[in-house]
Amino acid sequence: MRAGGKVPHRSLDQLRECKWFVPEQRRGLLLRLNCRVTTKHEMPPSASGYFGSMAESYDSLIHRAVPRYDEMIARLLQYLPRDARRVLELGSGTGNLSLRLAESLPGAALTLVDGSEEMIALVRSRLAETSSSSSARVQSIVARFEELDFPADSFDLVVSSISLHHVENKAALYARIRSLMSKGGRFCFADQIRGEPESNHRLNWERWLDFCREPGHCAPDEIESLLQHAAAHDHYTTLTEHFALLSRAGFTELDCVWRNWMWGIVTATAS
């Protein structure tokens, strides 16, 4: 944390007015709460643009801003079927999960999707440095999740880490994901999950901010930038709604296998 920096503590009354507590209240909320960051540049218009602009510093930030991040990724990997041969990762980012997938699933063909060209370039470079054989069996695509167009039965495993909350229409997304999976395939993702009731969500949010404020974690301007990004691009969904949407899309055997405050891991089977 930068010397002399003071992170603003928002009251629960203020937080209740934010989009992440009351989704309908979107326009002008940052100005009403004085949450806007004073920077030389405007907030990128998309989540991919936001993270693409910080490709080189993303790994440092995610460890300082996401509690138990390494544990979450390790737990997600434990629930992936080792016999998967056609794997789709949604939101590869800088490749933290991608590299682990290439290592733990040596017989699988990997398709990595991210909306940021900068992130895709970085993960390609990291894979090439790690192993030429891994790089050879990896296809990377710059695209939005909602625009994916693969034939039916293209994948027997779809995975994602801290990316799906950027999609507002999850019903359409889950239906699209199911359409390109083989029957019996697995869909496993780690993401930020909206707590329920609202008092749980408020508590989860406060504990996240407490973690960010710890010495050595996030600087005040980083926290403000994350808050601005959340208000502009994040769409948190409760576990109950995730399960309902997944079920309607054609998934069964729904489970939440790990949870830490607002972060969780969900697994499902394509029926």
Q: When comparing pLDDT for 58 and 153, which is higher?
A: 153
Whether the predicted pLDDT of 145 surpasses 60:
yes
pTM recorded for the entire structure: 0.81
CB 99 within 8 A of CB 108: no
pLDDT digits (tens, 9 = 90+) for 175-232: 999 999 999 999 999 999 999 999 999 999 999 999 999 999 999 999 999 999 999 9
Tokens in use for 28?
């002008």
**Residue of 193, 202, 196 lying closest to 12 (CA atoms):** 202
CB 180 within 8 A of CB 222: no
Percent with pLDDT over 70 in the chain: 77
Highest mean pLDDT (candidates 92-96, 115-119, 147-151, 246-250):
246-250
pLDDT at 271: 97
Whether the predicted pLDDT of 171 surpasses 90:
yes
The mean of the pLDDT values for the chain is 83
Distance set, CA 119 to CA 115, 123, 129, 149, 222 (Å) = 8, 6, 15, 21, 19
The average pLDDT across 69-92 equals 97
pLDDT digits (tens, 9 = 90+) for 33-62: 233 333 334 545 544 444 444 556 778 999
pLDDT at 132: 58
